[in-house]
Every structure is written in C-alpha cells, then in structure tokens.
C-alpha cells in the first residue's frame, strides 16, 4: 500500500527545501526526499549549496580574507599584527561547524512546518508516483497530487583532467585541503574558480587560473570585468585567458605528488606548468541520474536540463521542476524563488517570477555583482541607453574603510529613463546591487533613484551618485559632457 501526499519534493537544496516549506505553510501535506549524506553517513538537507557550495566557500572566503587583512592591511589603520599565522585545519573545522548548524536548521524547519523528511533516493514513475529507497535499501512507492523535481547540479568533469580527489580535485575537494598548496592551478576563471582561487591565494598559494575564453567574465558587463581583472591580478591571481588545457599527468617528485598541466596559450603554443594541486572549475551540469523512469513523461532538452515552461511546469501533468536542473542561471536564490512560485501555484495562487531581475554575485574581494542587462547586451539589441558610473574612491565611507577599488555602473533607457541594469565591482557589491534590483522591480527610473535620500556616510552613496551620473548630475565628481 502506497503513502499519498499533496506534494512530494525530490531534492532539498535551496530550491527543494524552500518549495517543501512553502507548500507545507499553505496547508499541503508535503514530503521531501534527500539523498545527501554527511561524513557520519547521516542524511542531511541543504544540497550542494549548504554542504559543499555557497555556504562553506563563503566561510573560507571570509576566514582567508581576515587572515590577509591582518597580515597585509592592518598597517594602514595603524595596527601592528606581527607573526600572524593561519591554522588551516581550524579554518576547515569552523567551516564544517557552520555547515552543520545550517543543515540542522533545515531539519528543524521541516519539523516546525510538518514537512516529512525522507532520506534516500527518489525516482519519478508514471502517474506522479515516486519510488523511494532509503539508505538501508528498503523500497516504498509514494503517490502525490504534485511532484516537484529539484535534483540540482554537479561539477562538469573534463577527460583531460580526471578528478582523483587528491591532486586533481573539483570544487568540493578544494574546500578540504589540509594545508596551503605552494602552487595551485585552477582550470576555469569563472565564478567558482575565482572564489576558490582567491581563498588559497590569500593564504599564500601561487595561483594560476587557466581560462579557455578570450574574454574575462564574458557573461558580465565588460567594463566591470576589466576592472575586476585588474584588481584581482594586482592581488596576485595569475589569470591567463585563451588557454586550453590539453592534458594532465600526476607524478611524484621528492616523495610528493604533483600534477603537470599541458595547455595551449593564446598564440597556440604548447605550454607546461606544474602544480601541487589542481582545481577543475569548468562549470556545472544538471543532475538527473536515476531521477526519471522511462515512462515518467518528463522530457529533457538538448543540454540535459528538464524541460519546463515559464511557470516551471514539465511535460508531465502535475510534475514541476525547479533550480539548477532547469533552464536559467544556476543560482541558489533563483531556485528558491522558483520553489516559492511553484508551491503557491499548486495551492491555487497566481504567483509568477520575474526572471529579468535576478542578481548575480561573485564573492571575491572586492565583490562583483550585477542585475539586469549589460551594456554589451543592449548594444546587440540596438537599444538606446544612458550610463552613469561612479567610483568608490570618491566615497568617504569607502576611503575610511580602505575600500576604494571599483565603481557602480547604472544603465537606463535613453527615452524612458527606466533602469535596465546595474553592475558593480567594489565593497559590499552584493548588498548594493540588491538596492537597485528592488528599484527595477518597481519600474524605477534613474531619476527616481537620484531623488532618493541616501544615508551619509555609506557605501550606498555610490549607487546614488551613479544614478545621478546617468544624466550628468553627479555631485562628487566632475561630470563628462553629454553629446
């Protein structure tokens, strides 16, 4: 005899657990299936984000930056800090404690909202039935009025650099180093590669990022990308563009393993570099292995993503899919909001999601953040626009904090003045870009933002001044004459 629910969610990452909690809040009998195990072999929620992604990487980023600040930047404030050392195992242990606290928090939220947590694997069968197999191998058939697929994504592996979990690692392995590698290679200079490269660079590793693309951060506004590249290079990251890795060879030298990486440079010449560790960060792909029975009725697109419409409904009635396993940017907050939307639509509400206003952040220091369209995108579309740029070097609060690198860039429609995008490299960029995202959601113009009163002294004044600069009205810099 099968157990029946109103909603079954497969996957408890940021998309899945949020969907489950919201569905339960709306009075729907909800179960959430999760296959992730912690190091003790116990089922835990949170998916990649909480266990080996967003949260642990930020813990290491913050720890490594505090070390770097104490070692290199305290002097400008008149603070002497001699003999500063890093205890890598303690740093890793702190990261693990944070992960444990947050994953345990989801378990508590499930209990508080009466979500049934099931630990094991879930496979969608025909007719909205789910085959659930727990960690002991016991099988059970569950039924639901609605099934939400939130199985997430996994790192892309490349044949020329097979991950061995020791010398060649993926993003998960890069969170577990027991010591700082003297020489660290990173294949890929995207979001994950830059963040992980920054962690170990701050701690003393010589980091080389090998990026196949010709442009740095090609998906970002290129004015911001070029400034970010300049800043990160100054910090010590060796970023090499147009470099394609063609092979790797793990070898032993002096009783210690290392990896020799062969690649072609931008001139097409073959080059070799030797590293103590190599991180493979060339992207992520949707994870659907074992998720769908052949007769489930759910279709995949040509890239392996589950096909959904704008409301995250799949080709099978009553089956939905959200998060990294569907189209769109692989961002935890995008998946979470899709989870809310789907839960509310199942409950009969008419909730929709605005995919045009999803912030994107790279947590280097300074941070890099964007929302809306880039200048390159608008040029390609033939759209007329105005741009306002304001540097943090002209902001008193930024100078006081010794955070003067970078700028805020706001793009507005030439005729309507409606804000079309905001791109920031600088201190607290992740938080500042959200201010503009809120303004964009309500259809604000650059003039609207410029008329608002911003607290002084704050970093957010750079947003205010950039909005004023759209029309050449910035106060704390000389404005360029408009043509």
Mean pLDDT across the stretch 454-464? 98
Distances (CA, A) of 165 to 157, 280, 284, 289, 338: 12, 11, 17, 21, 33
The answer to whether 283 touches 304, Cβ cutoff 8 Å, is: no
Q: How confident is the model at residue 483 (pLDDT cuts 50, 70, 90)?
A: low
Going from N- to C-terminal start, the domains of the chain cover 3-155+285-346, 168-282, 360-469
To which residue do tokens 């080709």 refer?
315
To which residue do tokens 């964007």 refer?
370
Res 226: pLDDT: 98
Helix (H, G, I), strand (E, B) or coil at 268: coil
Residue of 333, 456, 473, 476 marked catalytic: 456
Burial 256-286 (b: 16+ CB within 10 A, else e): eebbbbebeeeeeeeeebebbbbbbbbebbb
456 as an active site residue: the answer is yes
The answer to whether 316 touches 146, Cβ cutoff 8 Å, is: no
Third-level CATH fold of 168-282: FAD/NAD(P)-binding domain (3.50.50)
* Whether residue 234 has pLDDT greater than 70: yes
The answer to whether 463 touches 435, Cβ cutoff 8 Å, is: yes
Domain 360-469 CATH superfamily:
FAD/NAD-linked reductase, C-terminal dimerisation domain (3.30.390.30)
End-to-end CA distance of the chain: 75
Q: In this predicted model, what pLDDT tens digit does every residue of 136-190 receive, in sequence order?
A: 999 999 999 999 999 999 999 999 999 999 999 999 999 999 999 999 999 999 9
Q: How confident is the model at residue 254 (pLDDT cuts 50, 70, 90)?
A: confident
Phi first, then psi, for residue 257 (nearest 5°) are: -75, 145
Query: 166 is written with which tokens?
Result: 């020791």
Give the separation between CA 11 and CA 46, rounded to whole angstroms: 9
* Whether residue 109 has pLDDT greater than 80: yes
Kindly give, in sequence order, each residue whose CB lies less than 8 Å from that of residue 267, ignoring residues fewer than 6 positions away. none
Mean pLDDT across the stretch 477-482? 81
Give the separation between CA 85 and CA 97, rounded to whole angstroms: 21
Res 2: pLDDT: 63
For every residue of 135-203, which 3-state class applies, written as one string? CCCCEEEEEEEEEEECCCEEECCCCCCCCCCCCEECCCHHHCCCCCCCEEEEECCCHHHHHHHHHHHHC
Query: 156 is written with which tokens?
Result: 């892309």
- Burial of residue 42, with CB atoms counted within 10 A of its CB: 0-12 exposed, 13-18 middle, 19 or more buried: exposed
CATH code of 3-155+285-346, in short, is 3.50.50.60
Mean pLDDT across the stretch 399-419? 98
- Burial of residue 250, with CB atoms counted within 10 A of its CB: 0-12 exposed, 13-18 middle, 19 or more buried: middle
Q: How confident is the model at residue 480 (pLDDT cuts 50, 70, 90)?
A: confident
Whether this prediction's pTM lies above 0.85 is answered by yes
Mean pLDDT across the stretch 372-392? 98
Kindly give, in sequence order, each residue whose CB lies less than 8 Å from that of residue 372, ignoring residues fewer than 6 positions away. 356, 357, 411, 419, 420, 421, 422, 436, 437, 440
Mean pLDDT across the stretch 343-359? 98
Of 2-6, 70-74, 117-121, 440-444, minimum mean pLDDT range: 2-6
The answer to whether 248 touches 210, Cβ cutoff 8 Å, is: no
* Whether residue 481 has pLDDT greater than 80: no
Res 400: pLDDT: 97
The answer to whether 130 touches 124, Cβ cutoff 8 Å, is: yes
Kindly give, in sequence order, each residue whose CB lies less than 8 Å from that of residue 298, ignoring residues fewer than 6 positions away. 124, 149, 292, 306, 307, 314, 315, 316, 319, 321
Res 3: pLDDT: 83
Mean pLDDT across the stretch 76-104? 96
3-155+285-346 and 360-469 agree in CATH topology? no
Give the separation between CA 69 and CA 262, rounded to whole angstroms: 34
Burial 115-126 (b: 16+ CB within 10 A, else e): bbbbbbbbbbbe
- Average pLDDT score, the chain: 97
Strand 30-34 and strand 3-10: the pairing is parallel
pLDDT above 90 covers a percentage of the chain that reads 97
Long-range contact pairs involving 439-444 (C-beta distance under 8 Å, separation at least 24) = 440/357, 440/371, 440/372, 441/354, 441/357, 443/418, 444/418, 444/419
Q: What DSSP element (H or E) covers 122?
A: strand 116-124
* Whether residue 341 has pLDDT greater than 70: yes
- How is residue 335 annotated by DSSP? H
The answer to whether 396 touches 331, Cβ cutoff 8 Å, is: no
Q: In this predicted model, what pLDDT tens digit does every residue of 23-68 receive, in sequence order?
A: 999 999 999 999 999 999 999 999 999 999 999 999 999 999 999 9
Give the separation between CA 394 and CA 474, rounded to whole angstroms: 11
Give the separation between CA 248 and CA 278, rounded to whole angstroms: 10
């Amino acid at each position: 005899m099968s157990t029946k629910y109103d909603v079954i969610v497969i996957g408890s990452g940021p998309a899945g657990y949020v969907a489950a909690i919201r569905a339960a809040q709306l009075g729907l009998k909800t179960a959430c299936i999760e296959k992730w195990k912690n190091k003790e072999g116990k089922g835990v929620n949170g998916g990649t984000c909480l266990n080996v992604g967003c949260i642990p990487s930020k813990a290491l980023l913050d720890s490594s930056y505090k070390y770097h600040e104490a070692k290199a930047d305290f002097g400008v404030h008149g603070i002497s800090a001699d003999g500063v050392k890093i205890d890598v195992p303690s740093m890793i242990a702190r990261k693990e404690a944070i992960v444990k606290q947050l994953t345990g928090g989801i378990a508590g939220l499930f209990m508080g909202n009466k979500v049934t947590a099931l630990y094991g694997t879930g496979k969608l069968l025909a007719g909205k039935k789910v085959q659930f197999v727990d960690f002991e191998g016991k099988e059970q058939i569950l039924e639901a009025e609605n099934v939400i697929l939130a199985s997430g994504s996994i790192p892309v592996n490349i044949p020329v650099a097979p991950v061995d979990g020791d010398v060649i690692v993926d993003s998960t392995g890069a969170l577990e180093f027991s010591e700082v590698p003297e020489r660290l290679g990173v294949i890929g200079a995207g979001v994950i590669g830059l963040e992980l490269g920054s962690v170990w660079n701050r701690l003393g590793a010589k980091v080389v990022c090998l990026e196949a693309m010709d442009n740095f951060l090609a998906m970002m506004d290129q004015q911001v990308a070029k400034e970010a590249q300049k800043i990160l290079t100054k910090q010590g990251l060796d970023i090499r563009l147009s470099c394609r890795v063609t092979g790797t060879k793990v070898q032993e030298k002096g009783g210690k393993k290392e990896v020799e990486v062969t690649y072609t440079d931008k001139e097409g010449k073959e080059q070799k570099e030797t590293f103590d560790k190599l991180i493979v960060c060339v992207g992520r792909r949707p994870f659907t292995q074992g998720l769908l029975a052949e007769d489930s009725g759910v279709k995949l697109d040509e890239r392996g993503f589950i096909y959904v419409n704008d409301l995250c409904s799949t080709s099978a009635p009553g089956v939905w899919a959200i998060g990294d396993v569907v189209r769109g940017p692989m961002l935890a907050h995008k998946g979470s909001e899709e989870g809310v939307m789907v839960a509310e639509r199942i409950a009969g509400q008419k909730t929709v999601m605005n995919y045009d206003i999803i912030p994107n952040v790279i947590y280097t220091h300074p941070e890099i953040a964007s929302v809306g369209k880039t200048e390159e995108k608008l040029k390609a579309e033939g759209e007329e626009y105005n741009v306002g740029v304001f540097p943090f070097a002209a902001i008193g609060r930024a100078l006081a904090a010794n955070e003067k690198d970078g700028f805020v860039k706001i793009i507005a429609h030439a005729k309507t003045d409606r804000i079309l995008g905001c791109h920031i490299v600088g201190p607290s960029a992740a938080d500042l870009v959200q201010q503009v995202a809120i303004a964009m959601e309500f259809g604000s113009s650059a003039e609207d933002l410029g008329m608002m009163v911003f607290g002084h002294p704050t970093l957010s004044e750079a947003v205010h001044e950039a909005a004023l600069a759209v029309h050449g009205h910035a106060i704390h810099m000389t404005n360029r004459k408009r043509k």
